[in-house]
């Protein structure tokens, strides 16, 4: 039986961390439409699972081994690149959903990526988080030069790898928690100012050159999002009206569904660079 998870692939690599073992990527890829006919047919999935978290200590240990004449860290960081190399000709785009922490397996995903999509919410913790993202990924504004030699960017570039570029920043407007729209605008405007400054000082980190091309507003999806998530439906086929979700009757309003669809179209448009 296929192991069908990223944790299963990690388990395969633990005994062979520094050389690529013989494996078929198809053993870890599932086709969601086989289980849910609402999912588009052109979508495949490598599932996540809790096993990855349990494996993290072993992965870190392998990456930090000191082996003369070799680079264990880059060999481990390349695990996902090794996987993608077997299937990249089969897909137009590959999306990786990362843990918000900067754990090693998050670094493995980022090192295999060309572009980054950074979600933010209208709160100060998101402002700090996006500042931290630029420090952790690109080595900006580190507290001391001592950290530079151990920084992700330093080690990745020393191995001849390119850093991904920031392609899009998604601004999630949670109005039910933020209160007045002015409060929402003030926080996200501060995030835009931070990014604008970085765009001037470090343009090489970004896919876009105009700040307006790099941001997309997304309103809270509310009940519409809950229905789509619970049923596994894209917004394009969610229906207006009362529906049953996990034994409960809920109402999907046309206005909210239209807003959700418009938001997704804006995201897709920016992802396509149009």
* pLDDT digits 0-9 by tens, 2-35: 457 999 999 999 999 999 999 999 999 999 999 9
Residue with tokens 């448009």: 269
pTM flag (> 0.85): yes
One domain, residues 215 and 229: no
**What is the Cα–Cα distance from 105 to 80, expressed in whole angstroms?**
9
Cα dihedral 198, 199, 201, 205 sign: positive
Residue 181: per-residue pLDDT: 56
pLDDT for the residue numbered 174: 55
pLDDT band at 180; cut points 50, 70, 90? very low
Cβ–Cβ under 8 Å, residues 191 and 130 = yes
Assess contact for 169 and 214: CB atoms under 8 A.
yes
Shared-domain flag, residues 67 and 124: no
Clarify whether residues 108 and 134 are in a common domain: no
Residues 71 and 154 in one domain: no
Which residue range forms the structural domain that includes residue 62?
1-113
Annotate 15-62 with DSSP letters as a single string.
TSSSSPPP--GGGG-B-GGGT-TTS-TT--B----THHHHHHHHHHHH
> Does one domain contain both 71 and 102?
yes
Rounded-to-integer distance, Cα 7 and Cα 55, Å: 8
> Please, are residues 105 and 99 in contact by the beta-carbon 8 Å criterion?
yes
Residues 153 and 252 in one domain: no
Q: Provide the percentage of residues in the chain whose pLDDT is more than 90.
A: 64
Chosen domain end from 113, 146, 168: 113
- What's the pLDDT tens digit per position in 105-150? 999 999 999 999 999 887 778 888 888 999 999 999 877 888 888 8
Average predicted confidence (pLDDT) for the chain: 89
């Amino acid at each position: 039986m296929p192991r069908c998870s990223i944790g299963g692939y990690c388990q395969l690599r633990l005994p062979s961390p520094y050389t690529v073992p013989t494996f078929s990527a198809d053993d870890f890829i599932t086709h969601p439409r086989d289980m849910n006919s609402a999912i588009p047919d052109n979508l495949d999935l490598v599932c996540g699972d809790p096993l990855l978290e349990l494996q993290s200590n072993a992965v870190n240990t392998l990456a930090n081994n000191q082996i003369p004449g070799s680079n264990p860290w880059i060999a481990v960081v390349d695990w996902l690149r090794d996987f993608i190399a077997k299937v990249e000709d089969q897909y137009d785009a590959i999306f990786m959903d990362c843990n918000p922490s900067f754990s090693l397996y998050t670094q493995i995903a980022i090192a295999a990526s060309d572009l980054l999509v950074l979600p933010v919410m209208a709160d100060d913790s998101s402002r700090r988080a996006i500042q931290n993202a630029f420090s952790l990924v690109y080595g900006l504004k580190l507290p001391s030069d001592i950290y530079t030699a151990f920084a992700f960017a330093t080690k990745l570039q020393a191995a001849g790898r390119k850093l991904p570029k920031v392609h899009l920043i998604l601004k999630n407007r949670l109005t039910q928690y933020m209160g007045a729209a002015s409060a929402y605008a003030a926080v996200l405007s501060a995030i835009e100012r931070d990014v604008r400054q970085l765009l001037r000082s470090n343009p090489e980190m970004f896919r876009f050159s105009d700040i307006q091309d790099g941001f997309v507003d997304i309103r809270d999806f509310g009940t519409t999002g809950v229905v789509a998530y619970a049923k596994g439906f894209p917004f394009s086929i969610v229906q207006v009206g009362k529906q049953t979700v996990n034994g409960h009757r809920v109402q999907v309003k046309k206005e909210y569904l239209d807003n959700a669809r418009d938001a997704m179209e804006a995201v897709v448009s920016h992802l396509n660079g149009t």
